Structure 1
Amino acid sequence: MEVFLEFFNNLTDPDWIVTHGGLYLLLFIVFAETGILIGFFLPGDPILFISGVIIANMSLSATNPVLTLLYWIILISIAAIVGNFVGYWCGKYFGHRLLKMKDNWLFKKEYIHKAQEFYEKRGGGAIILARFLPIVRTFAPIVAGIVEMDFRKFALYNIVGAIIWVGTLVTLGYLVGENPWVQRNLEYVIMGIVVLATAPVIVKLFTNKKKPVEAPAQVEEPHEV
Structure 2
Amino acid sequence: MNHEREELDSWKRKFSRKSSIFKRVSKQAQTKVNQWIPEKAHNVVTESIKKMVEVTLKGSEWVPLQQVSVKSSLKEREALMKERVEFYRKAATIEGAGTGAGGIFLGLADFPLLLSIKMKFLSECSAIHGYDTKQYEERLFLLYVFQLAFSSDSHKKHVLDIIENWDVEKEKLKELDWRTFQQEYRDYIDFVKLFQLIPGVGAVVGAYANYQLLDQLGEVAKYAYRIRYFHDIE
When normalised by structure 1's length, the TM-score is 0.31
| Larger helix share, 1 or 2 | 2
| Structure possessing the higher relative contact order (Cα contacts under 8 Å, 6 or more residues apart) | 2
- Structure number with greater Rg is 1
